[in-house]
Structure 1
Amino acid sequence: MIVTLHYDPIVTDDPKLASMRLRINAMAQQIDSRLSIHDLRCVPGPTHTNVIFDCVRPSDLQMSAEDLKHALAQRVESEYPKSVAKITIDEDYVGHTHE
């Protein structure tokens, strides 16, 4: 068995990022209550801030991954005007139910 270990440099103790994470997760759940985000990080630049995160998409979601990415990016960029959303869609093949 070959194992690959990967970790993202996620800030966990910044109240501003924690608030943003909650807000963006709520935006995702407005699209579909089963959606969730993780690995949120912000990379500021001279003209905008990249807001980078992953979103877990249930395999039976009718919206395509590209449509989901676009809809969520519009919400994020509207809420945070000087941001550009960089979203990775993770497919949930296991089909976990979220309560």
Structure 2
Amino acid sequence: HCEVPAEQDILLSHDIIDNIERDFLYRKGIHLVIHMDPIVTDDPRTNKLLAQVREILRGLSPEISLHDFRVVWGPTHANLVFDVCVPFGFSMSDGQLASAITREIQKLNPHYYPVITVDHDYVPKETAEPPEAGGATKN
């Protein structure tokens, strides 16, 4: 996926994504389909909250990354909707992680309701070197 500024012209965002897909096809021979996620980038309240959530995640584990963050502001509460990505073999279950994040966010404000999707990297970071061209491996 590709996060694009929500306030940017959709035709411009679409053109940029088309160029990325085309570059992968012509330079790498990879057919790629990218979807766009519009992200509000010009709201100070949302940006401050995003920084606070990133700090919470760093405190839990520097290996956790965040994407697709948005806030649905309401009169009685705010839904904080986002995805986190954890590395292969991460020590906490999805439920444990979501609960820990929720506890920390609600310390900021008990009227913040996180809606968290936990994504996983399925390949360890310390993988062996890729095989040589033609499928041969080093001995």
Under a length normalisation based on structure 2, what TM-score does the superposition of the two structures give?
0.61
Q: Give the AA of the match of 2:121.
A: D
Gaps of 5+ in 2: 1-29, 127-139
1:41 equivalent in alignment to 2:70? yes
Q: Count the aligned residue pairs.
A: 97
**Alpha carbons 1:57, 1:65 under 8 Å: kept:** no
1:80 equivalent in alignment to 2:109? yes
Aligned to 2:39: 10
Q: Which has the higher contact order (CA 8 A, sep 6+)?
A: 1
Q: CA RMSD in A?
A: 2.2
Larger Rg computed on CA atoms: 2
Write out per-residue CA displacement over residues 35-75 of structure 1, whole angstroms, 9 at most, x where no aligned residue: 12121111122421101111111122111111101110111
Aligned equivalents of 2:40 and 2:123: distance in 1? 28
Under a length normalisation based on structure 1, what TM-score does the superposition of the two structures give?
0.82
Structure 1 stretches of 4+ with a deviation exceeding 4 A read: 1-5
Gaps of 5+ in 1: none
* Structure that is richer in strand per residue: 1
